[in-house]
Chains A and B, each alone.
Chain A
Amino acid sequence: MDTSTFQLKPEQRFQMFLDAACDYAVFFMDTHADICEWSSGAEKIFGYTESEALQLNGRVIFTEDDRAGGIPEREMEKAAQDGQANDERWHVRKDGSRFFAVGRLVALKDESDHLYGFAKIVRDATPNKNLEEALHASDQHFRATFAQAPLGMVLTDLDGRIQQVNAAFCRLVDYGAEELRGRELSSLIAPEDRDLAREKIDELLAGEATSTLVEKRLQRADGTTIWVQDSGAVLRDSKGLPLSFIDLCHDVSILKMSALEMSRLVDQRTLALQEKTRQMEAFCYTVAHDLRAPLRAIAGYAEFLRRDFAAALSGDGLAYVRKIEASAARLDRLISDLLGYTRVQQVPLIQEEVDLTRIAERVIEHVKRDFDVSGLVIELVAPLGRARADSVTMEHVFFNLISNAIKFRRAEEPPLIRIYSEESGDRLRVWIEDNGIGIDPRFKDRVFGMFERLHPEKKIPGTGIGLAIVATAMERFGGSRGVEPNHPTGCRFWIEFPKGGFL
């Protein structure tokens, strides 16, 4: 092949080069930066046609800020001095859009080193720039995350020396980041927790765990100790070899302290309450017993008076003696009930299988003897069922409920009491229904309280303790009690045994 036929003129060759380099903007400017040649690549990148460009000054491609900052002049000066100047910055297209240009400004000089113009070659590097910026942003983001995270973070090398800490960690231990760098992390851990920390590191290194979670104490610069919850992990390279450790520490001192303090407080209060309850019960028991001694004296001597000196006493005198005896009898009942109540509270209950029907039968017999009420009918719908309870206590419960039903009868009709049970789901409920005067629904919860009386003693005798005994007893059997105040007339009391509580 005859290469001579391919000999092109230098101008032709240059033009071809310019046309081929369509991804590059190439243009020439005179010393004033007026554009005097404009390649097709330049047209493509900047958007100006050749004829447009030739009317313009090269400064037009700079951003307004750069123009104001004298960047074009500085670039030209540098090129004039050094022969060329790098041009890596945001430029502006005809349509006002920006792109990131990477290129160079080359000074054009003649043989006598006289500057006669500039050549500029730039390419659009926006995609690269964007990627780089994204990477940079991402990196910044991660750094910021590490630095500003509210969780204390510390990176340590395989020897346990601190490489990097964040501000939160510095705050936790009250040391500066520089003070901590290079220091052994274990030196910050309270001596009693160091073995535990070492164990966790070994677990991580051995691959037994990918992360660990421990609560440990850190020693602060001022000598105080804080509790942290530390999540640790080992960072490995692509081959799985350990590179470093990361620990995330969360201050749990407040939680820890309050948990400790709270449990201490709860313990203290429980003890105090138990002690108080015990004292109260002991007090109640003692009072009940000690009250009885003078009471016996009052009742006894009143009786002696009545027996031995009846003749000497006037009618009034005898009436007074009888009043003394009646008062003593009432005080005796009160004390008996108080003792019953403390017994229900204090005595360890014997939980055995009891036949509620038999207990109710026994109590009904007893009640009928005690209460001389004409027309009294107690209907027992047998069987009531069996329950795990203490038979003596259950007798108290039935006695109080049944005698209650009798005491609060209507004057105009004889008391009718019905006792029956129903099993619903996991509970056995025994109903004691009466046709009495009922209870004001407002007081339906109060009736189970100690010494609660809704009627004056004169009208209906009672000590206000009976239903408290019922409530306490059912509580102790793990059951409950309640009342439907007016069902349909009178009221309907119930006691209930929980699942597993009845057989």
Chain B
Amino acid sequence: MNYPESLILIVEDDVNDQNFIRRAFKLSGVLNRIATVNDGEEATAYLRGHGSYVDRSLHPLPRLIITDIKMPRMGGIELLKWMNARAEFRLIPTVVLTSSNDEADIVQAFEQGVKGYMIKPVQFGELEKLIRAIADYWRVSCVPYPRPECRPA
């Protein structure tokens, strides 16, 4: 995914975790823009270009989504279901990064086609390793470009 112009969307309600993930990406040498939203509902607004996300040039569609599971208003599983029901978002690779190791969550996430499921480590050093692994993987992987109708105007 060597597309420096593409964006990584972090869906995470914990501001500290948002910071850690951002920092871990930076430390992993990822230079892509990183956008954060606070829950699933904000993520759908971002993806549809609603409200404050109306300007696609400022808020392009992400090439990778990192999402939490347990979030207020709309959780990660619901977000995945919502995306799968829409052809324009179905192909965006999504990785779960959560504190939940609940088997039911893992199964549901994979049923919704997630590309990975990671448990948030407590030690930042561990998180850094994990994010580096994600970054390394997606750096070498091809990803479908967002469909033309969804491209920024």
Contacts and interface: CB of A to CB of B under 8 A. Distances in A.
Given A297-B16, A300-B16, A339-B101, A292 B122 contact: yes
Contact of A300 (B70, B103, B127): B127
**Size range of the interface on B?**
10 to 19
Of A293, A294, A295, A332, most buried by chain B (CB within 10 Å of CB) is A293
B70 A296 contact: no
Contacts of B23: 304
A296 B16 contact: yes
B20 A293 contact: no
A296 B19 CA distance: 11
A347 B124 contact: no
A107 interface: no
Nearest to A301: B16
A491 to B, nearest CB: 32
Nearest to B102: A285
A299 interface: yes
A289 B75 CA distance: 15
Interface string B38-57: 00000000000000000000
**Size range of the interface on A?**
10 to 19
Contact of B122 (A304, A329, A347): A329
Contact of A289 (B99, B121, B125): B99
A296 B120 contact: yes
A23 interface: no
Contacts of A293: 14, 16-17, 99
Contact of A299 (B99, B101, B123): B123
Nearest to B70: A289
Contacts of A347: 103
B70 A328 contact: no
14 contacts: A289-B99, A293-B14, A293-B16, A295-B122, A296-B16, A296-B127, A297-B17, A299-B123, A299-B124, A300-B124, A304-B124, A325-B123, A332-B123, A347-B103
Interface of A: 289, 292-297, 299-301, 303-304, 325, 328-329, 332, 339, 347
List 10 A-B pairs, minimum CB-CB distance, nearest first: A297-B16, A300-B124, A332-B122, A303-B124, A292-B99, A300-B20, A293-B14, A299-B122, A289-B99, A296-B122
